[in-house]
């Protein structure tokens, strides 16, 4: 934002402040119904609200969008230059992105955004879906590339979804919650390098992993060298360290974005896109911000014990197939 825009916003702020004082004085001294405000006045209030939320301080910006002002500007720049997102006569790019991030960060309904940003429900709905799609188009820019012969840490986690009544048995987890089972892979720094969303909560991790490996552009498992000891010992040592990394990555992801902690208001297709967008924004924050740890209290539910068809597993047979796969990975 250049100096001319800042001066314009400050002028609008001063004018709007005076108008609000006059309006408050009228309300306190006259019980008559206040007449309908003009479009220009509502636009000035909207600019004032947006300016205070994004540009007042890094603390306020992080509380609203989970990003500081610099990272927020970088995201808007990427959306403009790489994806081609442009402002409209009603909403500029910064306000679109701010509304989108505020919904992800606080899991608020449309009427809350209408009140905070002084916009109609139709505009909020349209621009949320618009920014969601363009953020996903930053896939190549924000998703980390796997290094040579380095897989990273992978695990699954549950995220609650909203599905029709007829589909709920397939999405019901062992603990009775309706959720989707997400497969995530991250590097040693906690940046996501692969995310597979959309599988039902009743699906096991091994089934989702098979699907991820079998896809044409899916997960590629490299061959790693065995430094010392047996293949089993080496695998267990690396698995223990990697599990801590992926658990922390999921905890940070859910701590930042409240929309993937509670039950979603959106259909499962939109929710899966939202999960992918949260992972991309997670990587951006890790790269561009300092002091990025922002974790609310998260009840992390492990998907390790997911079952198929809602029945608990009482007996597990030994699988030579996966034992051999593990040994090949470690040797």
The pTM score is 0.74
Would you state the pLDDT for residue 265? 81
Mean pLDDT of 5-24: 56
Instruction: Give the 3-state secondary structure of 9-71.
Output: HHHHHHHHHHHHHHHHHHHHHCCCCCCCCCHHHHHHHHHHHHHHHHCCCHHHHHHHHCCCHHH
Would you state the pLDDT for residue 8? 58
pLDDT in tens, 248-292: 899 999 999 999 998 778 889 999 999 999 999 999 999 998 776
Looking at per-residue pLDDT, the higher value among 176 and 218 belongs to: 176
Looking at per-residue pLDDT, the higher value among 184 and 242 belongs to: 184
Percent of the chain with pLDDT over 90: 34
Looking at per-residue pLDDT, the higher value among 299 and 166 belongs to: 166
Domain ranges of the chain: 3-137, 147-330
Where residue 229 falls (left for φ over 0; alpha for ψ -120 to 50; beta otherwise) is left
Work out the pLDDT band at 146, boundaries 50, 70, 90.
low
Mean pLDDT of 34-63: 73
Mean pLDDT of 94-119: 90
Residue-averaged pLDDT of the chain: 77
Quote the Cα angle for 122-127-133, to 5°.
Answer: 135
Looking at per-residue pLDDT, the higher value among 62 and 312 belongs to: 62
Would you state the pLDDT for residue 3? 61
Looking at per-residue pLDDT, the higher value among 201 and 222 belongs to: 201
Q: Is the pLDDT of residue 158 over 90?
A: yes
Mean pLDDT of 81-85: 94
**Bridge-partner residues for 155, per DSSP?**
184
CA distances from 116 to 1, 18, 113, 274, 298 (A): 22, 20, 5, 22, 26
pLDDT in tens, 280-316: 999 999 999 877 655 554 544 444 433 333 333 334 4
Please name which of 287, 203, 181, 293 lies closest in space to residue 248, comparing C-alpha atoms. Answer: 293
């Amino acid at each position: 934002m250049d100096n001319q825009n800042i001066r314009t916003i400050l002028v609008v702020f001063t004018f709007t402040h005076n108008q609000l004082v006059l309006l408050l004085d009228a309300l306190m001294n006259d019980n008559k119904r206040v007449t309908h405000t003009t479009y220009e006045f509502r636009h000035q209030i909207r600019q004032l609200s947006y300016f205070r939320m994004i540009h007042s301080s890094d603390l306020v910006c992080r509380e609203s969008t989970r990003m500081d002002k610099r990272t927020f500007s970088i995201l808007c720049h990427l959306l403009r230059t790489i994806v081609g997102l442009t402002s409209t006569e009603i909403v500029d790019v910064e306000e679109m992105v701010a509304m989108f991030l505020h919904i992800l960060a606080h899991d608020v309904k449309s009427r809350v955004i209408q009140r905070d940003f002084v916009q109609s429900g139709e505009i909020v709905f349209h621009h949320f879906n618009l920014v969601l799609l363009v953020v996903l188009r930053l896939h190549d820019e924000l998703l980390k590339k796997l290094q040579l012969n380095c897989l990273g840490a992978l695990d699954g986690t549950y995220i609650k979804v909203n599905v029709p009544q007829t589909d709920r048995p397939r999405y019901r987890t062992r603990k009775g919650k309706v959720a989707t089972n997400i497969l995530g892979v991250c590097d040693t720094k906690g940046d996501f390098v692969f995310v597979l969303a959309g599988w039902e909560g009743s699906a096991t991790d091994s089934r989702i992993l098979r699907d991820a490996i079998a896809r044409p552009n899916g997960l590629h498992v490299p061959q790693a060298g065995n430094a010392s000891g047996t293949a089993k010992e080496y695998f267990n040592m690396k698995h223990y360290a990697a599990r801590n990394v992926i658990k922390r990555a999921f905890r940070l992801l859910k701590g930042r974005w409240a929309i993937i902690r509670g039950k979603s208001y959106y259909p499962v297709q939109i929710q899966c896109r939202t999960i992918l967008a949260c992972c991309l924004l997670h990587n951006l924050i890790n790269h561009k911000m300092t002091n990025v740890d922002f974790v609310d209290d998260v009840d992390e539910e492990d998907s390790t014990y997911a079952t198929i068809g809602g029945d608990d597993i009482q007996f597990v047979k030994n699988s030579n197939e996966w034992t051999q796969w593990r040994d090949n990975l470690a040797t």
